[in-house]
Amino acid sequence: MSDVGSLAEAARKRKERLKNLKDKQNTTESEVAESELSEKLPKPVFRSYRPHDENLKESLLPTTKPEDVTEKVKDQLEATKIKDVVEEVDLMNLAPRKPDWDLKRDIAKKLEKLERRTQRAIAELIRDRLQNSDQDLALVVNAGEAIARTEEDEDD
């Protein structure tokens, strides 16, 4: 029967430990709940309102003085002053252009292609004439040079 007494004693000790644990849990939960409530509630911040209550005066923001911005304004004004514009302006961009300068620029590539095709066609025509004629090549070349000289003289 001493076995039954020792078992009863062990059961009683377990009950006491469980009771102590429950008490600890309840106290920590209530403390946590209270601290959570105090954390959840925001503290008032007074910017323009002056509270009369001493407790509320603790959360009053200190008065601030406006910052001196005269130096910043002076720096900005100096930065906006006009520097020598004459040095920065490229006179070539300001020179007036002919009204059709953009058209000439646009068709310049096409004219280059046409010029190459024209030169090829002229060379082909000259070859055909030389093959059809019985004249000497040197005479034809000399005649071509003479014609070119007369055209240059007329242009001048």
**What is the rounded distance in angstroms from the CA atom of residue 83 to the CA atom of residue 89?**
12
pLDDT grade for 144, boundaries at 50, 70 and 90:
confident
Q: In this model, does residue 34 exceed pLDDT 90? A: no
Residue 86 has pLDDT above 60, yes or no: no
Higher pLDDT, 10 or 54: 10
Tell me which range, 54-68, 79-93, 99-113, 120-134, is most confidently predicted by mean pLDDT.
99-113
With respect to residue 93, please indicate whether it lies within any of the assigned structural domains.
Answer: no
Rounded CA-CA distance 77/79 in Å is 5
Residue 8 lies in a domain: yes
Give the domain extent around 18: 1-62
- Of 45, 75, 74, which Cα lies nearest the Cα of 62? 45
87 in any annotated domain: no
Q: Confidence class of residue 139 from pLDDT cuts 50, 70 and 90?
A: confident
**Is pLDDT larger for residue 77 or for residue 117?**
117
Q: What is the mean pLDDT of the chain?
A: 80
112 belongs to a structural domain: no
Tell me, yes or no, whether 5 lies in a domain. yes
Place of tokens 């002056």: 50
Residue 12: its pLDDT value, please? Answer: 92
Asked if residue 51 lies in contact with residue 64, where contact means CB atoms within 8 angstroms, the answer is no
Question: For position 84, what pLDDT does the model report?
Answer: 59
Q: Is residue 142 one of the residues assigned to a domain?
A: no
Please check whether residue 136 lies inside any domain of the structure: no
- Total of domains in the chain: 1
- Residue 50 pLDDT greater than 70, yes or no: yes
pTM metric for this prediction:
0.28
Contact 48, 61 (CB under 8 A): no
Give the pLDDT confidence score for residue 3 in this predicted structure: 73
Look at residue 10 and tell me if it is in a domain.
Answer: yes
